[in-house]
Amino acid sequence: MPGIVIVGAQWGDEGKGKATDLLGSRTDYVVKFNGGNNAGHTVVVGDEKYALHLLPSGILTEGVTPVIGNGVVIDLEVLFDELEALSARGVDVSKLRISANAHVITDYHRTLDKVTERFLGKRSIGTTGRGIGPTYADKINRVGIRIQDLFDESILRQKIEGALDVKNHMLTKVYNRRAVTCDEIFDDLTSYVERIRPMVGDTGLELSRALDAGQTVVFEAGQATMLDIDHGTYPFVTSSTATSAGAALGSGVAPSRLDRVIGIVKAYTTRVGAGPFPTELFDEWGELLRKQGFEFGTTTGRPRRCGWNDTIITRYASRINGLTDIVLTKLDVLTGIEQIPVCVAYEVDGERFDEMPVSQSDFHHAKPIYENLPGWSEDITGARELSDLPANAQAYVRFLEERSGSRISAIGVGADREAIVQVHDLID
Ligand code: IMP
């Protein structure tokens, strides 16, 4: 029975919620396996709108057990703020499970994130400033603090002191900031201990047992393929594995337990933060996509950079993630555009590229080669079957499907939860 992975196939904010909704009540577990509170999704349930940054969206679905896996970095203040806000609105949050091996974001990680960005100047990444990168850096450097360390005061003190030895030199001598004391960090982290204790366990074991028992586990990636630390547009990436392989790494479930990989592709493309983006639009078309698609960040409120759909990226994402299905989102945003350009190749210094260039410098200079597809003007928000879509919209979908190499199983045609054209079942 299925282990299902959901990943963003572009630069994030593709609308993963649509896929999670489609799986809905047939899901037993929803696992967040990478990232932290740099993510942001708005979930609408009935008349209620919830903005989540850290918690897996499954927390809002009755009967689902939400899990924060070992691959996640946790800001404890954000965690409890989100839990309290949900509880106050009557959401049952008692089922949440948290891996003992997840890492903790501290105050010095947040400070370092912001000051390093400032020091990078023109080369800054445009991070969310939530301390994500510095926390992952500590994990790899083996000076991180894990959730399980909170339960051993002597170990916790040793680890904080060890980390601060170096951090305080950096903060005071390199970045001209004040030093942080071990007590400050210790007191802050231990203030959460009793509340978090009942939620913590061996979530890898719990998830493997759930799969053994035939339950459905959905692994929901934060960020997206092109922001993946290994396969994205490095260094303009996040610091975790946002591709399907991360579902195994970041949850403690073996790769062989993953049956389906659903990639979310927006009908056009958006990106937040710095870095190359070949189909980016700087004219009124970019403005139109931003306005029609409400393209402003959930976490930071930043306007998103907008551009046409890029099939080179989708094909790359199909391959890297092993996509079995695509959920195409926001097709309705393109309604009313007479000719819709779709990127089919790049040109770099006179040379044509049909796949992602190996060299990042080439990618920075890539100019899109477009094919123009005829648009449609009919309102498509009521479409529920492929045949309800105007012929040109169907042709647009087929074109993206052929170029990406993975079947399109569902199409988002509006903001409402039900505004979906379902082509293939995502669980069977
Ligand atoms: P960080 O994850 O805060 O370190 O930021 C690294 C890069 O990833 C920046 O360009 C961010 O804008 C981008 N990023 C991080 N999280 C998201 C997300 O959920 N959606 C889109 N972009 C994101």
DSSP string, 315-367: HHHHHHHT-SEEEEE-GGGGTT-SEEEEEEEEEETTEEESS--SSHHHHHH-E
* CATH superfamily of the 103-196 domain: Adenylosuccinate Synthetase, subunit A, domain 2 (1.10.300.10)
Instruction: Give mean pLDDT, residues 256-271.
Output: 97
Predicted pLDDT at 303: 94
Average pLDDT, the chain: 94
Tell me the pLDDT tens digit for each residue of 345-390: 999 999 999 999 999 999 999 999 999 999 999 999 999 999 999 9
Instruction: Give mean pLDDT, residues 211-230.
Output: 97
Cα 394 off chain centre by: 28
Domain 3-93+202-422 class? alpha beta
Higher pLDDT residue, 325 or 428? 325
Q: Is 231 a catalytic residue?
A: no
Predicted pLDDT at 41: 77
Structural Rg of the chain based on CA atoms: 22
Instruction: Give mean pLDDT, residues 314-340.
Output: 98
Q: Which of these is catalytic: 32, 139, 167, 266?
A: 139
Tell me the pLDDT tens digit for each residue of 103-162: 999 999 999 999 999 998 888 988 989 999 999 999 999 999 999 999 999 999 999 999
Q: Is the confidence at residue 1, as pLDDT, over 70?
A: no
Tell me the pLDDT tens digit for each residue of 2-50: 999 999 999 999 998 888 878 877 899 999 999 999 987 777 777 788 8
With a CB cutoff of 8 Å and minimum separation 6, the contacts of 94 are: none
Would the CB of 273 count as within 6 Å of ligand 1? yes
The letter for the amino acid at 397 is: V
Pocket perturbation via mutation, ligand 1, pick of 272, 296, 300, 306 by most ligand atoms within 8 A of CB: 272
> How do strand 269-271 and strand 305-307 relate by DSSP bridges?
antiparallel
Share of the chain above pLDDT 70, in %: 100
- For ligand 1, what atom is nearest to the CA of residue 222? 19
Predicted pLDDT at 48: 80
Higher pLDDT residue, 282 or 60? 282
Share of the chain above pLDDT 90, in %: 86
Predicted pLDDT at 44: 73
Q: What is the pTM of this model?
A: 0.95
The letter for the amino acid at 371 is: E
Residue with CA nearest ligand 1 atom 23: 223
**Quick check: bond before 276 cis, omega within 30?**
no
Pocket perturbation via mutation, ligand 1, pick of 42, 57, 227, 266 by most ligand atoms within 8 A of CB: 227
| Domain ranges for the chain | 3-93+202-422, 103-196
Q: How far is the CA of 23 from the centre of ligand 1 (A)?
A: 26
Cα 28 off chain centre by: 21
| Residue carrying the six token digits 């009967």 | 63
Tell me the pLDDT tens digit for each residue of 245-258: 999 999 999 999 99
Predicted pLDDT at 97: 98
Buried b (16+ CB within 10 A) or exposed e, 366-384: bebbbeebebbeeebeebe
Tell me the pLDDT tens digit for each residue of 74-120: 999 999 999 999 999 999 999 999 999 999 999 999 999 999 999 98
User: Of all residues in the chain, what percent are helix, strand and coil, respectively (each to 5)?
Assistant: 40, 20, 40
**Residue 245, number of CB atoms within 10 A of its CB:** 20
Predicted pLDDT at 340: 98
Would the CB of 13 count as within 6 Å of ligand 1? yes
Instruction: Let me know how long the chain is.
Output: 428
Instruction: Give mean pLDDT, residues 410-416.
Output: 93
